[in-house]
Chains A and B, each alone.
Chain A
Amino acid sequence: MNLSILLTIAVVLLIVGMGFSAIRLFLGPTVPDRVAAADTLAVITTVGLVGLAAWFDNPVYLDVALVYGALAFVGTVAIARAIEGDRE
């Protein structure tokens, strides 16, 4: 599985985006910063799972990506509702 130059650049850029989101997830000053970073990281992970499906030539990873995206969305909305509720 050797990649072409363009695909290597694409994988490196995807990992750079995940690294930036993970840094913001670690040092975000407030809780909504961390939730926003976790949401972005979940979307990037979904895209990465689709990329893994293309890399391994196995369509099972597409189902994994869809279920991961659904669960991450539910988690983001639940944490946001919890932040919103503890003020009232």
Chain B
Amino acid sequence: MNMIGDVFLVMGCAAIAIGGLGLLRMPDVYNRLQAGTKTVTMGAMAVLLGIALHHPDWWSKLLVIAGFILFTNPVGSSTVARAARISGIRPWRARQEKEAD
């Protein structure tokens, strides 16, 4: 059981590191929001599952934290994307096409 929990922890932390790399390397605000939100949400779920396998008597609080991350992270991401769109930031591909014209 502890070994399975360790594997889930490494998987989740690898997903979090890849999400951070995408946040650093992507060319645009919207692409960065995609990379930073979805990958990190999945990594957080894997880490919480691994810790729940390590400590089975903490499952209620871990479930509350997991549900909270699952509910609030997409809402925050879409709010930031809407704010970026309203404040006038164009998507990256549109900017490339405009420069090509």
Using a CB–CB cutoff of 8 Å, the interface residues on chain A facing chain B are 4, 6-7, 9-11, 13-14, 16-21, 23-24, 30-33, 35-37, 39-40, 43-44, 46-47, 50-51, 53-54, 59, 62-63, 65-66, 69-70, 73, 76-77, 80-81, 83-84, 86-88
Nearest chain B CB to A22's CB is how many angstroms away? Answer: 9
Find A10's partner among B9, B23, B69 (CB 8 Å cutoff): B9
> How many B residues touch the partner, as a band?
35 or more
Residues on B lying within 8 angstroms of A by beta carbon are 6-7, 9-10, 12-14, 16-21, 23-24, 29, 32-33, 36-37, 40-41, 43-44, 47-48, 51, 54-55, 58, 61-62, 64-65, 68-69, 72-73, 75-77, 79-84, 86-89
CA distance A63 to B65 in the complex (A): 9
CA distance A68 to B85 in the complex (A): 28
A18 to B16, CA, bound (A): 8
Q: What are 23 A-B pairs at a CB distance below 8 A?
A: A6-B7, A6-B10, A7-B9, A9-B13, A10-B12, A10-B13, A13-B10, A16-B20, A17-B19, A17-B21, A32-B87, A36-B23, A36-B32, A36-B36, A44-B20, A46-B65, A50-B47, A51-B9, A51-B51, A53-B58, A62-B62, A81-B83, A88-B86
Are A80 and B10 also in contact (CB < 8 A) when A47-B44, A62-B61, A87-B88 are? no
Would you call B32 and A84 a contact (CB within 8 A)?
no
The answer to whether A30 and B43 touch (CB under 8 A), given A24-B24, A44-B20, is: no
Give bound CA distance, A40 to B75, whole Å.
13
Query: Contact at A36–B47, with CB atoms within 8 Å?
Result: no
Q: Which residue of B lies closest to A42 (CB)?
A: B76
With A17-B20, A47-B16, A66-B61 already in contact, the answer to whether A32 and B89 are too (CB < 8 A) is yes
